[in-house]
Amino acid sequence: MDEVSFTGGSRVGWVNASWPLARLTARAHELKLSALGSYELSDQDVVSLEPYGSIPLLASGIRINHNRVDYPEKIIFWCMGNRDSILDDIRSVGFRPKGKAVARPSGFSIRWSVAILAVVIWNVLFFADNSFRLSAGPHQPGPLTVLAMLAVFTVSSALPYSPGLQRAVLQPGHSLGEIQSFLRLLQIISGLLSFGMGGTLLVSWLS
């Protein structure tokens, strides 16, 4: 057997993905977790694999302790089956952790000034819609609400491709990979909401 794969859930950094949105694949010298992004780890990247959580079906998983500073420190694969059997299957294809622990950058990945500014702008746009009665109806989004969603989508989409924007947003010593799954989730949610709210607003203007 060259590889084994398992379907389950995951937690990568701040972001949880429930079953069956994550997939863990093991080969002789590689582990790969796919869940709102792809995380590939060689046997030299993995320090250890250990059981994590103690609630069957709800919080029972395998924590991948690794030394990749460009990935979130916490990477967990949530198991639906027996995690000891999964660990045995991973060992059966020849995968053995060989990595050594390293010091990681401390603190929050995103600059606090940027996070605070984003919250302030977000709330200003939402309250402006209510204060100036720009919404098309009491339960419909206004143009500034749609603008807030579009801004989130635009920034989260542009961040992976703009080194200058990364320097402005990330704390020194931190990398984009640490918040990759969070950015992907932001893109999906803000993109869908922008499309839905924008369509609703357009229909209300045309009717």
In this predicted model, what pLDDT tens digit does every residue of 23-74 receive, in sequence order?
999 999 999 999 888 999 999 999 999 999 876 556 689 999 999 999 999 9
Q: Enter the pTM of the model.
A: 0.78
How many Å apart are CA 148 and CA 177, to the nearest integer? 25
CATH fit for domain 4-92, picks 2.30.29.30, 3.30.420.40, 1.10.760.10, 3.40.50.720 = 2.30.29.30
All residue ranges of the chain with pLDDT < 50 are 134-136
Q: Which residues partner with 30 through β-bridges?
A: 27, 42
Which residue intervals of the chain bear CATH 2.30.29.30? 4-92
pLDDT of residue 133: 52
CA distances to 66, 69, 134, 153 from 104, rounded to whole Å, are 11, 6, 47, 29
